[in-house]
């Protein structure tokens, strides 16, 4: 169940995005006060686009750069974006609780159902390798993709009116994140 609504850009909604229908998924949001707000993601991404609160948003700048975007807001004007954990965590680099992790599976399917992407990039190898469903008939591994020293499996998710391909890459806060750029570009150019 979605508790924190995804960001869906107007270009994504209108099918005019330069990235077609690209959904980017990450792990979670952080707020030391842990105040829950269902529009948390929407507000944060709007702040990124507006440039009103740049401090602490390094993730979005680095992510924008890997898509060859000099202006990080350009990526977010052309994609949908959501976090998998449907709770606001207190701080980064702390392992989520079992209750927080339990929100991922249902939210994953609901986010796909709501956004109807063609391509999905999960920006967390931890989430990709351990938290997403791999034994559900709605998804299956269809390929592997390798570019330079980076590797990911490619999954196809099909159910109701959803049909998309997905990969997992490292987190933008990780070491050598920019080395994922070639793999991301290959994935985006591949015909699904």
Q: Where are the domains of the chain?
A: 7-189
- Say what the pTM is: 0.94
Contacts of 87 (CB under 8 A, 6+ apart): 3, 28, 36, 96, 99, 100, 103
Phi-psi group of 56: left, alpha or beta (phi > 0 → left; psi -120 to 50 → alpha; rest → beta): left
- Ranges of residues in the chain whose predicted pLDDT is under 70: 32-34, 53-56, 68-70, 192
Q: Assess if CATH 3.40.470 describes domain 7-189.
A: yes
Please tell me the predicted confidence (pLDDT) of residue 192: 63
Residue pointed to by tokens 């999905």: 120
Give pLDDT tens digits for 29-70.
Answer: 777 666 778 998 999 899 888 887 665 677 888 898 888 666
What's the whole-number average pLDDT of the chain?
90
Please tell me the predicted confidence (pLDDT) of residue 93: 74
Q: How many Å apart are CA 61 and CA 121, to the nearest integer? A: 16
Please tell me the predicted confidence (pLDDT) of residue 80: 98
């Amino acid at each position: 169940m979605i508790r924190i609504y995804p960001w869906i850009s107007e270009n994504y909604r209108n099918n005019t995005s330069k990235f077609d229908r690209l959904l980017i998924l990450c792990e979670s949001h952080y707020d030391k006060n842990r105040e829950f707000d269902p529009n948390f993601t929407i507000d944060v991404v709007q702040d990124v686009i507006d440039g009103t609160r740049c401090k602490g948003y390094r993730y979005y700048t680095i992510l924008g750069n890997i898509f060859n975007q000099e202006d990080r807001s350009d990526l977010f004007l052309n994609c949908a974006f959501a976090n998998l954990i449907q709770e606001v965590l207190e701080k980064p680099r702390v392992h989520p609780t079992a209750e927080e992790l339990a929100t991922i599976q249902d939210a994953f399917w609901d986010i796909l159902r709501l956004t109807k992407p063609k391509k999905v990039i999960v920006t967390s190898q931890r989430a990709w390798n351990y938290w997403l469903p791999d034994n559900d008939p709605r998804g299956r591994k269809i390929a592997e993709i390798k570019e330079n020293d980076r590797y990911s499996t490619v999954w196809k998710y099909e159910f109701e009116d959803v049909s998309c391909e997905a990969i997992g890459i490292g987190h933008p806060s990780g070491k050598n994140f920019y080395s994922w750029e070639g793999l991301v570009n290959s994935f985006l150019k591949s015909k699904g």
